[in-house]
Amino acid sequence: MGKSKLQVSPITFGCWELGGGPWEFTSDENNIQAIRAAFEMGITTFDTAEGYGAGHSEEIVGLALEGSRQQCVISTKVSRANLAPADVRRSAEASLKRLKSDFIDIYYIHWPSYEIPVSETLSEFQKLKDEGLIRAIGVSNFSLEQLKEAAGFAQIDVIQPEYSLLHRAIEEDIVPYCLENEIGIMSYSSIAKGLLTGAFHLGGKTLDENDFRSTRRLFLPEHLKMEEELILLLKQIADAKGKAVSQIAISWLLHQKALTTAIVGSQSIKHMKENVEAAEIKLTADELTALDAVSRKVIAGIDATP
C-alpha cells in the first residue's frame, strides 16, 4: 500500500455499520462473528473510526480480532473535532485502548479541518509514527489541493475517498496524482451505500423516511430512475457469470489500476463471502468498456439535474 510496507487485502471490511448509529443494526455478537468469519475467508484489512458509534465500532473490532491482531491491518480515523495536536494524541490513545492494540496500522485524518493547520495535525501524527504507535498515515475526504499540502508535511501512504461506478470524480485529478506519487487508494462507499447491490432497482427495497440515505442525492426518485440503465447492465453481466450485481460493481472497482483496496461493509456473513469472491471475478475488455460508458452517462445525467 503506497510507499508503506503494509500488505492489504483487496477487500477491506468496512466497520461503520458495526458502531450502530444511522444504520440498521443487528447485534454486537453477530458483528463480532462477521469480522471473524471475514478474517477466515481471507480479509485481513479492517477500517473503522473513533466517530463510528462514538468508538463502539472500534471496540467491536478490538474484541473480534484480539487473537489475530498480528495478522491484520487495522485502519482508524481521528475526527475533525480532534485535530489539534494534544487532541490527536488523546484520540489515538483512546482508539488503541478500544482496539486492544499497541499500534494502529493506518491512522487517518477523517475530514480536513477548517481551523487547525494540517501542518500541526501531521506533526503529531509523525511523532506517533516515530514512537511506533502508528505505522502509516492516511487522509480521507481530501481534495487534491489538500492532499498536496498534507504531503508537504508527512509521507501520506493512502487516501480514502468515495469511489464507485456512481462516484468517479477522483479519476480527474486525485488518481493521476496518487499514481505518480505512490499513494494508495482505499475506496469507501464502494457499492454506493447499497445502490449497486440492485436492491432498490430490482429487489423492491425502499428506505424508511428516517434512513439517513433518504435525503442523499443518489437516492432521490429522479436519480434512482436514471440509475436503472447501469443497474440493468450490471445485472446482465452478473447473470452471465452466475454472480450477484454487487460482485460485478466491486470487481469493476478492483479492475481500476489506481485502487489499492475496496472498503465494503456488511453485518451479513453471506454478503461478506460474496464480497470476498468478487475479488476473483475477471471482467472482459468489452464488459469494462460498457460499464465505463454507461456509468459516465448516468453520472452526467445526475450532475445535469438541479
Record the pTM.
Answer: 0.95
Contact assessment for residue 265 and residue 15, using Cβ atoms and an 8 Å cutoff: yes
The backbone region for 54, taken as left when phi is positive above 0, alpha when psi lies in -120 to 50, beta otherwise, is left
Contact assessment for residue 275 and residue 250, using Cβ atoms and an 8 Å cutoff: yes
> Among the listed ranges 55-69, 90-104, 192-206, 286-300, which one has the minimum average pLDDT value?
192-206
pLDDT tens, residue by residue, 227-278: 999 999 999 999 999 999 999 999 999 999 899 999 999 999 999 999 999 9
pLDDT of residue 212: 85
Name all contacts of 174-182 with Cβ < 8 Å and 24+ positions apart: 174/143, 174/144, 174/147, 175/258, 177/144, 177/147, 177/148, 178/258, 179/257, 179/258, 181/151, 182/2, 182/3
Confidence at 214, pLDDT banded by 50, 70, 90: confident
108 among known catalytic residues: no
Give the cell for residue 248: 460485478
pLDDT of residue 40: 96
pLDDT of residue 204: 85
Residue 207 has pLDDT above 90, yes or no: no
Residue 179, C-beta contacts closer than 8 angstroms, at least 6 positions apart: 257, 258
Residue type for 300, please? A
Residue 123 has pLDDT above 80, yes or no: yes
Catalytic residue among 52, 107, 163, 188: 52
Across the strands, what pairs with 186?
A: 261
Give the cell for residue 242: 452466475
Residue 120 has pLDDT above 80, yes or no: yes
The gap between the terminal CA atoms of the chain, to the nearest Å, is: 38
Contact assessment for residue 167 and residue 173, using Cβ atoms and an 8 Å cutoff: no
Give the cell for residue 39: 478474517
Residue 23 has pLDDT above 80, yes or no: no
Contact assessment for residue 135 and residue 162, using Cβ atoms and an 8 Å cutoff: no
pLDDT of residue 91: 98
